[in-house]
């Protein structure tokens, strides 16, 4: 190789090295390492109750991550999805289907941990009826109103609606009146008061409401349980600094404090990925739900 070839080879190698360094520098410049992390909890119950239960979580994360933690409860599922989309939230605890909707609008978010209950990363929806009302079985729902939570809720809309279709042949807005009441606790209260004869919500939330004496189980009967549903995922923005993202991931996966876990109504967390929620996408397709209209 002559001197000219050597210089050309050196120049090409130097150009490649500079490009690599510049690319790495640009990637680092695009990541964020905020002093305050904004963490959103799914607005599936009264906001005041959720914030009270989440105070141990705030303390735990501040100690683990050495950052201020701002707890956020949005007004509804849609506003939470939009806040994640526009990066006004850094970490979020979504319901399964609301995560699917968020992912469709903010494809760069990462689902990294999922709640574990009774040793499994799944839970159930419970279908309930007023104890003195006209609904004694799933077939009795025909021709009546049925209370769901938010449209984007998995266990208070998508899963029980699919369950009614598959198990009882009942289609919403054809065989019964669909009534959306917003939150899970609102569904339980409406059924208890007889405002709707029947409804559905997360079984874990229902049991929690009973334990906290916010619902009288004597006034409600259980109609059925749905099939297992992928549990709520914890999600984070992927433009956070790599070290911070790893710290967040580790903080959740190593979480064992029962007082902190009460915020999530789970026994602990295990790793998850987007693929785990394909079953909910399939469920929406079977129900002919237009995801675009639910966002």
3-state secondary structure of 106: coil
- E strand or H helix at 16, and its extent? helix 3-30
The full DSSP string for 194-262 is: TSSSEEEEEHHHHHHHHHTTSS-GGGEEEEEEPPPEEPPEEEE-TTB-HHHHHHHHHHHHT---HHHHT
Rounded distance between C-alpha atoms, residue 167 and residue 145, angstroms: 18
Q: What is the CATH number of the domain that holds 249?
A: 3.40.190.10
Q: 231 is written with which tokens?
A: 């549990």
Instruction: Identify which of 219, 218, 181 has the alpha carbon closest to the alpha carbon of residue 201.
Output: 181
CB atoms inside a 10 Å sphere around CB 120: 12
How many domains is the chain built from? 2
Domain assignment of residue 18, yes or no = no
| β-bridge mates for residue 240, sequence order | 32
Contact (CB, 8 A) for 249 and 99 = no
Percent of the chain with pLDDT over 70: 88
| Whether residues 195 and 279 fall in one domain | no
| Whether residues 222 and 235 fall in one domain | no
Contact (CB, 8 A) for 94 and 42 = yes
Domain assignment of residue 29, yes or no = no
- What does the pLDDT look like over 153-191, one tens digit per residue? 999 999 999 999 999 999 999 999 999 999 999 999 999
| Whether residues 238 and 269 fall in one domain | yes
Instruction: Supply the range of the domain harboring residue 179.
Output: 125-227
- Boundary residue ending a domain (227, 261, 285): 227
Percent of the chain with pLDDT over 90: 78
- What does the pLDDT look like over 185-232, one tens digit per residue? 999 999 999 999 999 999 999 999 999 999 999 999 999 999 999 999
Domain assignment of residue 4, yes or no = no
The backbone torsions φ and ψ at residue 144, rounded to the nearest 5 degrees and listed phi first, read -120, 175
- Boundary residue ending a domain (176, 196, 227): 227
Residue whose token pair is 């979480």: 255
- What value does the mean pLDDT take over residues 126-149? 98
Domain assignment of residue 56, yes or no = yes
- What value does the mean pLDDT take over residues 15-20? 51
- Boundary residue ending a domain (202, 227, 252): 227
Domain assignment of residue 3, yes or no = no
């Amino acid at each position: 190789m002559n001197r000219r070839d050597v210089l050309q080879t050196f120049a090409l190698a130097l150009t490649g090295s500079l490009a690599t360094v510049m690319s790495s520098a640009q990637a680092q410049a695009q990541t964020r390492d905020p002093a305050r992390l904004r963490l959103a909890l799914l607005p599936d119950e009264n906001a005041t109750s959720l914030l009270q239960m989440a105070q141990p979580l705030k303390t735990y994360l501040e100690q683990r991550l050495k950052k201020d933690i701002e707890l956020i409860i949005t007004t509804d599922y849609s506003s939470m999805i939009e806040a994640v989309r526009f990066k006004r939230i850094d970490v979020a605890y979504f319901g399964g289907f609301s995560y699917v909707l968020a992912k469709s609008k903010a494809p760069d978010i990462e689902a990294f941990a999922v709640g574990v209950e009774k040793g499994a990363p799944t839970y159930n929806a419970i279908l309930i009826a007023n104890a003195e009302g006209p609904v004694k079985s799933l077939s009795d729902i025909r021709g009546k109103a049925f209370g769901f939570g938010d449209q984007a809720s998995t266990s208070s809309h998508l899963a029980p609606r699919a369950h009614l279709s598959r198990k009882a042949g009942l289609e919403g807005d054809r065989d019964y009146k669909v009534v959306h009441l917003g939150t899970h606790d609102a569904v339980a209260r409406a059924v208890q008061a007889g405002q709707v004869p029947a409804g559905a919500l997360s079984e874990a939330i229902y049991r929690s409401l009973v334990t906290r004496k916010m619902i009288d189980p004597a006034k409600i009967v259980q109609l059925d349980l749905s099939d297992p549903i992928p549990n709520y995922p914890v999600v984070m923005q992927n433009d956070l600094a790599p070290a911070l993202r790893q710290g967040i991931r580790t903080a959740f996966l190593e979480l064992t404090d029962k007082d902190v876990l009460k915020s999530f109504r789970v026994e602990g967390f295990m790793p998850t990925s987007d693929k785990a929620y394909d079953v909910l996408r399939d469920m929406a397709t079977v129900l002919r739900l237009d995801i675009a209209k639910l966002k």
